[in-house]
Structures are given as structure tokens and as C-alpha cells.
Structure 1
Amino acid sequence: MNLSCIIIDDEPNAVKLLEMLIGQTTQWQLLTKCYNGLEALAFLKENKHKVDFIFLDINMPHLSGMELAGLLPSDTKIVFTTAYSEFAAESYTFKTIDYLLKPITLKRFLAAQQKIEFYFGKTPAAVAMPVQSSDQEYFFVKSGKVLRKILLEHILYFEGEKEYVRVVTHTDQLLIYRRLKDIEEQLTVPFVRVHNSYIVNTKQLNKIQDNHIYIGDKHIPVSEKFKDGFMAVINQRIF
């Protein structure tokens, strides 16, 4: 997705890291890098309609990121970048898309990229609806600039991690920005929800014992909330 952004941060190394991540993993246009709030205000005043969103550091001298955000038009979309987690709640009083804690890792940046593109695209960037094929069902996971095709039959399980879902196959673990509930709504048997944090592919189960599912070396608990629905599927396969 072609979006435009700017970086506002007084730390040259932090700016270089973000610039590298943007250049290597996205198709975004980085319009400029500002090293203080006043420089950013001047640029945004002249280029307001060209900037889709800004990366904004919080801890800057003279004019902090929070103070700067308060001076910007209320519809300015912001991704905050900071080493301090205590500003997270306050940051969402603005049009905040994401809140990145420094040092920003590649894994976390890719998750933020999916969230940002989902925000502007208004359609799920991470996972497409399963598509019927004459042979097999599949869907796509966005990883950096690449849409990776994954066959549903290769998936062992989905694991929810707050705002993210980990898709686990025999060879890969991919983190996507979706809720597990949204994934569940797109799937049918053999995929079954067994826990608040897990959807499993029942074709991949090795055994069930003591309210636990075994898929390879992974032990997955079966919660009381989902046990009846899960066992209803399993009972159809018991001889």
C-alpha cells in the first residue's frame, strides 16, 4: 500500500532504524525526517494534505511528542515511538494508530505495518477470506512486502496473543494483526475453537488426554467453555 509518512524524533539512531525498516519492508513514501517539534510543525503546515500519518517520538526536548500532538490538527494520524510505556493510555486521546516501544524490533514493526495498512485500507491486510479452490482451500498472510499463500490443511493451530494471532504450521510461525474471534468466524471444521487462545486443526491432532490436545510437541488445553463443541466434532470420528 502506497502511504506517505514522516518521522519526528530527536535521536538520529532511532530515525535511521525507522528509515531502514520503512525502506526495506514497505512501499510507503518517507517524505521527510524532523529532529524536533518546531521543524515538524513547519513541515506539516506546508504539507498537511500530503502526509497520511506520522511517526512521533514522545521524549523530545523543548516540545515533547505529546505537546506536539496537541498542537496538530485533530485528524492527524499518529504512530507514537517511545522508550516509555507509561504514556500509552494518554496517547489514545489522539488519532493514534499504534504505540511502538523502543527499541523497535523487526517483528514488532511488521505487526505495526499490518495495523497501519488495515487502518487506511479498511479491509483486513493480514488475512484474506479462505478461498474455495478445486483442490484445496488457502488464504494469504502478509509478511513484509510479500503475500504468502498458506494451505489451510498445513496449519496446525492458531494462537491468540492479545491483538495478534500466531499462525503455526510445521515449518512456519507467522504473526498477524487480527483477533482470534475474527479468524474463527472465517473457518469451519476441521478447525475448532478449544480455548480463548487457541483454534486447532483437528486433522493435525496426535492425541487427546486429560483435557489437553497434543499436536506434535505442543500441548494445548481444552477449556470447559469450548469442550462440548470440540468433543462433538471428535465424537464423529470415534470408532
Structure 2
Amino acid sequence: MNLSCIIIDDEPNAVNLLEMLVQQSTQWQLKAKCYNALEALTFLKTNKVDFIFLDINMPQLTGMELAGLLPSQTKIVFTTAYSEYAAESYAYQTIDYLLKPITLKRFLAAQQKIEAYFGKTEAVAHKTDTADEGYFFVKSGKVLRRILLDEILYFEGEKEYVRLVTGQEQLLIYRRLKDIEEQLSAPFVRVHNSYIVNTKQLVKIQDNHIYIADKHIPVSEKFKDGFMAIINKRIF
């Protein structure tokens, strides 16, 4: 994942180690190395980054004091030799808390956590955009087909493909059902390992089955509680 970051630490050896880990283990862009808080503040006034590696024990301004001066949305990975600040660190937008000396194993765990955080944020933003616009495009051969969300009856997973079914047609999409699920929000809900349904299109629910048009779709135990929580809000 392409992310940008800076390192803020007054210890050159710690900076060099973290720089090496970033360069050798990630695709991140290291935009700057700052050796004190004031230098970092100056850089951040005119440059944007996705997150910062921030040491806590520094002269002039500590990492905690600097964190309090940064915009509230600034994402932070704290780096320190002291564990006692861990609880306090989560008063900020903290993604992780790395104890020095930072090992490769611990850094790789932090990398997964950081990329999972930003991946989830992007997915939520994409999902919101799709839901607000009310449509998306589906590639069918060499053609991009515009599909209205309200017209979709359900999605059915078929190994590496997903079958999109409307009242008029069926389209095969070369994607996993999980990927489709991550781009959708209400009124779509997962009801089975193989099915996502449009609750606006439900005709009836009976014996753990959903009836949509002429299709009977099973509701599995894994997804039943979440599905019924949505349905129960609309029972008179």
C-alpha cells in the first residue's frame, strides 16, 4: 500500500533503524526525518502525510506535547523505550505503539495494522460514495454497464465470480463476494456465504428462507442474527 509518513525522533540511530525498516519492508514514502518537535511542526505546516512515527522522549517538546499541538485528525504511531505512556497515547489518533528497540517482527506486525487501518478507511469512504450515488458500473465483456442499486435483487457468489441479478438480467462479475460486500451498505445485507440480498426487494421470509421474485435464498446461522436485527426494526 502506498502511504506517506515522516519520522520524528531525536536519536539518529533510532531514526536510521526505522528508515531502514520502512525502505526494506514497505512501499511507503518517507517524506522527512525530523530530529525535534519544532522541526516537525514546521514541516507539517506545508506538507501532508498519512501518518507520523513519533518518539515520546524528546527535548524542547515531548512527543505527547507535540501530539497535543497537531490537528486532531493526525494519525500517529508512537515509538518509545517506555511502556508507561501506552494508555495516554490513545487519547490521540494512535494507530500503534512501538517499544524500542523495534524488531523486524514487531515492525511487520505494525505495518499490517497500519495498512489495515487505512484500507478500512478507504473502503468505508468508497462504500459511502457508492451508496450516495445510487449506482455503480459493472464490466461486462468490453462494456461498462451502469447498474442502479435499487434494481438489484441479489448477488450470488460462484467461486471466483459473482452473479448480479436484477429483475431484467443477470451479469457475471469477476470478483469475490466479500469484495462486493465491502463496497455495499444498506439496504444490502449478507445472509449466506453465497448471497447478498437487497432488503428492498424482499417479498417474504419463511422457514429461514428469503423470497425475492421467484428465488428462494437460505439464511445461514452465521448471518441470521445480523439480518434479523435489520428486519426486526421494520416489524409492526
The TM-score, its normalising length taken from structure 2, stands at 0.52
For 1:173-212, what aligned pairs fall within 5 Å after superposition?
Answer: none
2:38 corresponds to which residue?
A: 38
The Cα shift of 1:132 comes to: 4.9
Q: In 1, Cα distance between the equivalents of 2:159 and 2:26?
A: 29
1:90 corresponds to which residue?
A: 88
2:211 corresponds to which residue?
A: none
Letter in 2 for 1:7: I
Q: In 2, Cα distance between the equivalents of 1:91 and 1:20?
A: 25
Identical residues among aligned pairs (%):
83
1:63 corresponds to which residue?
A: 61
Q: In 1, Cα distance between the equivalents of 2:78 and 2:92?
A: 10
The TM-score, its normalising length taken from structure 1, stands at 0.51
The Cα shift of 1:8 comes to: 0.1
Q: Deviations over 1:145-177 (max 9, x none)?
A: xxxxxxxxxxxxxxxxxxxxxxxxxxxxxxxxx
Show structure 1 runs of 4+ deviating over 6 A.
none
Q: In 2, Cα distance between the equivalents of 1:17 and 1:103?
A: 9
Q: In 2, Cα distance between the equivalents of 1:42 and 1:53?
A: 16
Q: Count residues with an aligned counterpart.
A: 130
1:81 corresponds to which residue?
A: 79
Q: In 1, Cα distance between the equivalents of 2:41 and 2:66?
A: 8
2:117 equivalent to 1:119: yes
The Cα shift of 1:62 comes to: 1.1
Gaps of 5+ in 1: 124-130, 134-185, 187-239
Q: In 2, Cα distance between the equivalents of 1:44 and 1:22?
A: 20
Q: In 1, Cα distance between the equivalents of 2:94 and 2:26?
A: 20
1:14 corresponds to which residue?
A: 14
The Cα shift of 1:58 comes to: 0.1
Q: In 1, Cα distance between the equivalents of 2:16 and 2:102?
A: 12
Q: In 2, Cα distance between the equivalents of 1:21 and 1:132?
A: 37
Q: In 2, Cα distance between the equivalents of 1:77 and 1:55?
A: 9
SS at match of 2:10: coil
SS at match of 2:72: coil
Q: In 2, Cα distance between the equivalents of 1:56 and 1:102?
A: 12
Instruction: Report which of the two has the higher share of helix.
Output: 2
Q: Deviations over 1:114-150 (max 9, x none)?
A: 0000000118xxxxxxx958xxxxxxxxxxxxxxxxx
Structure number with bigger Rg: 2
Q: Deviations over 1:23-42 (max 9, x none)?
A: 00000000000000000000
Q: In 2, Cα distance between the equivalents of 1:69 and 1:118?
A: 22
SS at match of 1:24: helix
CA root-mean-square deviation: 2.5
